[in-house]
Amino acid sequence: MSEIKKIRTVCRNCHGGCGVIAHVKDGKVIKVEGDPESPISYGSLCSKGLSITQLAYHPDRILYPMKKVNGKWERISWDDALSTIADKFNQVIDKYGPESIVVGQGTGRDYESHLYRFANLLGTPNVLTAGHMCYVSRVASTLITCGNLPICDYRGDPKCIVMWGCNPQWSNPDEYKGVDFWQAYKKGAKLICIDPRKGFLAKRADLWLQIRPGTDAALAMGFHHVILEEELYDKDFVENYIHGWDGFTERVKGYDLERVQEITWVDKDLIRKAARMYAVTKPACIHWGVPTEQTNNCADCTRIMTGLMAVTGNLDAPGGNVLYVNPPTRTVSEFARHKDLSKEARAKRLGGDQFKLGARVAFINPKSAWDAILTEKPYPLKAGLLCGTNPVITRANAREAYEALKKLEFLVVLDFFMTPTAELADIFLPSGTWLEQNHVADNWKRHGFILARQKCVEVGECWQDHKIFMELGKKMGQEWWDTVEDALDYLLEPAGLDWETFKKKGYLQGEMVYYKYKERGFSTPTGKVELYSTALEKWGYDPLPKYTEIPESPVSRPELTEKFPYILNAGFRTPTFFHSANRMIPWLREIRPDPIVEIHPETARKKGIQQGDWVYIESPRGRVKERAKLNDGIDPMVVVAEHGWWYPEIKDPGHGWDISNINILMDNAYETLDPAIGSTNLRVCLCDIYPCGDE
């Protein structure tokens, strides 16, 4: 019998980082299991990670470079593919300038450092990421507030946890694993759950605040109002480490609990009880999710919530929200050579003048990209490279995204499968899964760890994304290393390690120090937590945070409510899918065969909808259909729908992208975006819901 080899590696089927032991036989991974020696997942592994073999060896996976010829895909060599791309990109650069090439990524496969290095050396400032409304927007907003991203210190034994718009057991987002939270909760921590929907955690919470979707910033200001009014704040911290306290407290006084109750639909007495519980139960932490970012309140909400951590003395305190110390490796920014992008190129970044906070962290809003393609203003985008992203499904106003990408003169897509976005490309480059790569994983996160992701197998002619960027860059005359592993040696050099040594160690952890601000202050212009932001003031924005009403709600657009009487809360997470990924994986699709929209039984009776019916969800921008599920744990005025749906089993080029794609319903007009960061209001709009009929 052939020997089974066990290889320790690290998952990336979501934001992940969970430790994995891959069982390899005859050059093929036959199964995976959680690694009990993982310092962050302790042997746990979710359904997405466990299904990796069905992804890696799926019969529809594209295993070779492909070129579209007369509307049909043909297999080509890697050299032909890279030469074609280099020639086309150079033609665009010669005629229009490098800024006319857009480089895009999705939620990422830990290739951000390489993608940005390629774009910076190319000379384009136009990098299109999900970061404008997911994670990086949170990082940008906390950088100007307290100098780094505060993370829940679950290992520091918090006594109170505020779970704000997040479900870590299902989504394992960013720095977090559900197991860390669950261990802290099982030790007896109080749990405050803020969610429009009564789900797994809300049912187990000490307090559940059923918030109107999108009004998180107002609720956070209500917490501040209670803390200020009852003097529950840390007086020493406020006196010594807060900039703008007087101005901020004046702003807070405008958010009395009567007003906050009216805005959020949360009872004022419950708000007071929750604010007290958080403020007096020490230590306490706030675990936030992307619903607080995917609105026009993104930056302000992040700043208000960071303020809650600070004024209660829970910032960088054990068991609070801490500023972790990462291992001494080269940062993504240093590797990416952001400083090599010229001042002239940065000045051409699309939307940079409008979204100055977004420009500071080097990304653009999608709307500005679509406009530059469709209208050629302020200048045309002519070519694009998209890696691990499916904007036809994942971006607001999806029909506009589709038309824009279709209009590009030349498009390259790096992915595993022919997605609706990939079908619009001219060149398809087959990416390797996390089983097929060597990388220093999680080096972009702020949880204090880096992890060794070891290559287990090769599948077809697939290359890991890092190698693709390196080899394409070299084709275009850029400075790169000979091999992927040489680049990892450079990344690890400050730690005194090379890749071969690091992969044997498995991980590095930064040496944690709490209360760092007592020695050196905060990494802001004033050295303090800036509730009054000097950066935003300099850029011409309101330096004090506030709540702004959602652009399309019963409050802001009452004239629409006769035709669209319900509030759509989109983006509902499941344990099976990662945004638009995994719809073709048999195990996962068996768990979740159809897209689900949840409605209250009262709403269902009113609209003639039965459990399991296919229903239309309609907004001012279009109509899609999902399958109804009745849930009395949501408000009768609210409809909760899944995102990311397309149908790989539909073999026409569109793969049913416009059947159940909830982002067809979402708006991306400039007036609906966060004014500083450019975050898309991807979560909330007005809608109607009704039966499909005979289907």
Alpha-carbon distance of 316 to 152, in angstroms, equals 9
- Going by C-alpha positions, the residue among 451, 448, 393, 428 that lies closest to residue 647 is 393
301-347 residue pLDDT tens: 999 999 999 999 999 999 999 999 999 999 988 999 999 999 999 99
Encoded tokens for 243: 């900039």
Q: Domain 144-325+516-539 falls in which CATH fold?
A: Dimethylsulfoxide Reductase; domain 2 (3.40.228)
| Confidence (pLDDT) at 519 | 95
pLDDT at 694: 62
- Nearest Cα to Cα of residue 688 among 594, 609, 629: 609
pLDDT for 695 beyond 60: no
SS3 assignment, position 642: strand
Measured over the CA atoms of residue 173, residue 175, residue 179 and residue 181, the dihedral's sign is negative
Query: What is the mean predicted confidence (pLDDT) over 184-213?
Result: 97
Q: Give the pLDDT band of residue 539 (cuts 50, 70, 90).
A: very high
Sketch the domain layout of the chain as residue ranges.
66-136+330-442+449-509, 144-325+516-539, 558-691
In sequence order, which residues have a C-beta less than 8 Å from that of residue 388 and are 6 or more positions away?
105, 106, 107, 108, 109, 111, 414, 415, 431, 465
- What is the overall mean pLDDT for the chain? 96
| 241 three-state secondary structure | helix
pLDDT at 39 over 80: yes
The 8-class DSSP code of residue 212 comes to P
User: CATH 3.40.50.740: does it fit domain 66-136+330-442+449-509?
Assistant: yes
Q: Which residues have CB under 8 Å from 235's CB, separation 6+?
A: none
Pairing of strands 151-152, 127-128: unpaired
Mapped onto helix, strand or coil, the DSSP state of residue 56 is helix
The pLDDT assigned to 173 comes to 72
- The rounded distance, in Å, linking the Cα atoms of 201 and 167 is 7
Is residue 591 predicted with pLDDT exceeding 80? yes
Lowest-pLDDT range of 20-24, 63-67, 102-106, 134-138: 134-138
> pLDDT tens, 611-649?
999 999 999 999 999 999 999 999 999 999 999 999 999
Beta bridge partners of 686: 567
Q: Flag whether pLDDT at 597 surpasses 60.
A: yes
Average pLDDT of 201-217? 97
The third-level CATH classification (topology) of the domain covering 558-691 is: Barwin-like endoglucanases (2.40.40)
Tell me the pLDDT tens digit for each residue of 280-304: 999 999 999 888 999 999 999 999 9
**CB neighbours (10 Å) of residue 338?**
17
CB 624 within 8 A of CB 659: yes
- Give mean pLDDT, residues 202-214: 97
Report whether the peptide linkage leading into residue 494 is cis, meaning its omega lies within 30 degrees of zero: no
pLDDT at 543 over 60: yes
624, 190 contact by CB (below 8 A): no
For residues 656 and 592, what is the distance between their CA atoms, to the nearest angstrom? 17
